[in-house]
Structure 1
Amino acid sequence: MESQREKEKEKDSEREEDTDSENDEREEGRECQKLRDKKKEKRERAKERREKRRQQISLLRTIPYSDHQRWWSADTIALVTGANRGIGFEIVRQLAMHGLTVILTSRDVAVGEEAAKVLQEGGLNVLFHQLDIVDPSSIKVFTEWIQQNCGGVDILVNNAGVNFNHGPDNQLECAEQVICTNYFGTKNIIQAMIPLMRPSSSGARIVNVSSRLGRINGRRNRIGDLTLRRQLEDVDSLSEELIDRTVTSFLEQVKDGSWTSGGWPQTYTDYSISKLAVNTYTRIMAKMLSDRPEGQKICINCYCPGWVKTAMTGWAGHTSPEEGADTAVWLALLPDQVVTGKFFAERRELVRMLRTIAKSSLNQPT
């Protein structure tokens, strides 16, 4: 009898445990659902903000520049790299629509000439010349052509770029090509064009097409090395040599397979590092160019076009090339050219919130 009661107690206890376990699972499920709902709400709010901003910019684009704002003319020369399709093509079209003379460049002569022909047939003043920004001989031929035919340039838009990795996989050949094109190639053409940028009271302009993925203190995809982030953030100690060492160190780790544990971004890795380099190089050049005398000023900024429906994104973006090109054109034509060394998206400067690096250093034990 006593044994029977003990067995019943054990069964009751087991049933209570099962009930508690089921309740815990239900509670856990409710908490997970709450998190999913919050994430969904956050995505929806972001989508709403993005759509609202797109509508605002669409309206702004309908407002013509006044005669007072138009510092350019048909004699103003704009150069756009990697412009045979996508964002680059659209930047060329929009600048030409504003009445500038625009040089469309691409590595492939046939596709570049065809792209220029489409715009020329629409009555736009567009010229074409072959340019491979990673080929010194191509750059040399191009700069000589610019000098002989145009006498210089007023606007440079560095759009040429590549991206191969769309996930955690990383191959040395792809990493080298992305870094070489997106960072070193951009540097090459900037250095080649600066001596050819024509002096004017309005100042010459350089716009680098970049990405939020390359922000030093972005919430996602940031470099894990806190010391390196501090060095890259500090414009007073920032140097071209530091950026070169950073991308070289990354490539060395890709080569030996240690990059996954090296604190590098784990998604869009090559592209993120290349654009980080472009963003930091933009800040260096802004500082270097700030000492030029009046009449010879050059301002340089970078911007993120967003997730654009182009071949590079597999046509998976949510922004059209026309929208993606807008901020580049806006920066190139700013009536007031004092803005330099900044990072923009959707016609707004992307200002860092709190200095997380500085805050974390204050919390370190001395």
Structure 2
Amino acid sequence: MDKKERAKERREKRRQEVSLLRTIPYSDHQRWWSIDTIAVVTGANRGIGLEIVHQLAMHGLTVILTSRETGVGEEAARVLLEGGLNVVVHKLDIVDPSSIKIFAEWIQQNYGGIDILVNNAGVNFNVGTENSVESAEKVIETNYFGTKNMIKAMIPLMRPSASGARIVSVSSRLGRLNGRRNRIGDVTLRQQLEDMNLLSEELIDRTVTKFIEQVKDGSWTSCGWPQVFTDYSMSKLAVNAYTRLMAKILSDRPEGQKIYINCYCPGWVKTAMTGWAGHTTPEDGADTGVWLALLPEQFVRGKFFAERREINF
């Protein structure tokens, strides 16, 4: 058996372990949440997002399913509502600041705040071995800037609690800083993004802006950017970096007002985004995000996970 086959076997074994863990119910002692706990999931009308809504609602939370189109969201939620789950649909387009503002005001008026935010909304226009950057600006705008703006808008609405509020962002191993493959070739930039003393929102924004500028002038191919799903990889690299930055910023909040932020890779999931070519089910893809959102004793922040295990950024 070669290295690739052994790695595939290990992944399959871990997926089976995680699937088994998912069948184990939380004890009353572990359940810090109730029907009054409010979770928001972005881009949740299909795929991983819809499954995250499903699993959270199955655990007894109230889940806000957001979608760019209300009718699409309502259709997606229909089966969940028929099953007696507490799911509410609301329109939200994370690339539209006015849409985020309207949503935040609606949350404040109807629920007074939220306890969990799952940033799932995202786009990817590469399929198979294709590596087009034709839609790079839209990918960065949605996956990074949209996610960042959503986090900023929801933090003031995070309700105080002894268990702490939670933010989970769906990301990707493709955005790892120090992966053996597909990493940024500029060593200095990579070190700056890795160094918590140097990491800043300005640095992250400047990095993705520079990438977009080089896409526009055609120089990106020779500037050391990732070579696999380049625009998607850069957007998730930015999400990962912003997660680490916000974890540091939020760590100073007093007890009772803690907010824990982490991100995770769902794997290559069989959804419309992957052209149904993935090797992981939506159920397995959603699992780690739900697990992070519900951790009974949430002491981790600014970490990156896959299959319920921490991995390096």
State the Cα deviation string for residues 236-289 of structure 1 (Å, max 9, x = none).
Answer: 210000000000000000000000001001120000000000000000000000
State the Cα deviation string for residues 8-27 of structure 1 (Å, max 9, x = none).
Answer: xxxxxxxxxxxxxxxxxxxx
Higher relative contact order (CA 8 A, sep 6+): 2
- TM-score normalized with structure 2 length: 0.98
- 2:175 touches 2:235 (CA, 8 Å); kept in 1? yes
- 1:165 touches 1:270 (CA, 8 Å); kept in 2? no
State how far apart, in whole Å, the 2-side matches of 1:234 and 1:185 are: 24
State how far apart, in whole Å, the 2-side matches of 1:161 and 1:212 are: 15
1:225 aligned to which of 186, 190, 197: 186
**Which 4+ stretches in 1 moved above 3 angstroms?**
none
Partner of 2:281: 320
State how far apart, in whole Å, the 2-side matches of 1:168 and 1:104 are: 31
State the Cα deviation string for residues 121-174 of structure 1 (Å, max 9, x = none).
Answer: 111000000000010111111011101111100000000000013423322xx1
Q: Does 1:177 align with 2:138?
A: yes
Partner of 2:255: 294
- TM-score normalized with structure 1 length: 0.84
State how far apart, in whole Å, the 1-side matches of 2:19 and 2:203 are: 40
- 1:176 touches 1:251 (CA, 8 Å); kept in 2? yes
Q: What aligned pairs does 1:30-69 form with structure 2 within 5 A after superposition?
A: 41-69=2-30
2:131 aligned to which of 165, 168, 186: 168
Partner of 1:79: 40
Q: What aligned pairs does 1:24-173 form with structure 2 within 5 A after superposition?
A: 41-166=2-127, 167-171=130-134
1:330 deviates by 0.2
1:61 deviates by 1.1
State the Cα deviation string for residues 167-204 of structure 1 (Å, max 9, x = none).
Answer: 23322xx1010000000000111000000000000000
Partner of 1:15: none
3-state SS of 2:2 partner: helix
Aligned amino acid, residue 162 of structure 2: S
3-state SS of 1:260 partner: helix
Deviation larger for 113-122 or 308-317? 113-122
Partner of 1:309: 270
State how far apart, in whole Å, the 1-side matches of 2:236 and 2:22 are: 27
3-state SS of 1:132 partner: coil
State how far apart, in whole Å, the 1-side matches of 2:312 and 2:273 are: 27
Q: Does 1:343 align with 2:304?
A: yes
Aligned amino acid, residue 206 of structure 2: R
- 1:344 touches 1:350 (CA, 8 Å); kept in 2? yes
1:253 aligned to which of 211, 214, 225: 214
State how far apart, in whole Å, the 1-side matches of 2:4 and 2:273 are: 24
- 1:310 touches 1:316 (CA, 8 Å); kept in 2? yes
3-state SS of 1:276 partner: helix
- 2:120 touches 2:170 (CA, 8 Å); kept in 1? yes
Partner of 1:272: 233
- 2:132 touches 2:229 (CA, 8 Å); kept in 1? no
3-state SS of 2:192 partner: helix
Q: Does 1:203 align with 2:190?
A: no
State how far apart, in whole Å, the 2-side matches of 1:122 and 1:351 are: 39
1:338 deviates by 1.2
3-state SS of 1:199 partner: coil
Aligned amino acid, residue 190 of structure 2: R
Larger radius of gyration: 1
State how far apart, in whole Å, the 2-side matches of 1:65 and 1:225 are: 45
1:301 deviates by 0.1
Deviation larger for 196-205 or 114-123? 114-123
Identity among equivalent pairs (%): 81
Aligned amino acid, residue 248 of structure 1: T
Partner of 1:242: 203
- Alignment size in residue pairs: 311
3-state SS of 1:206 partner: strand
1:320 deviates by 0.3
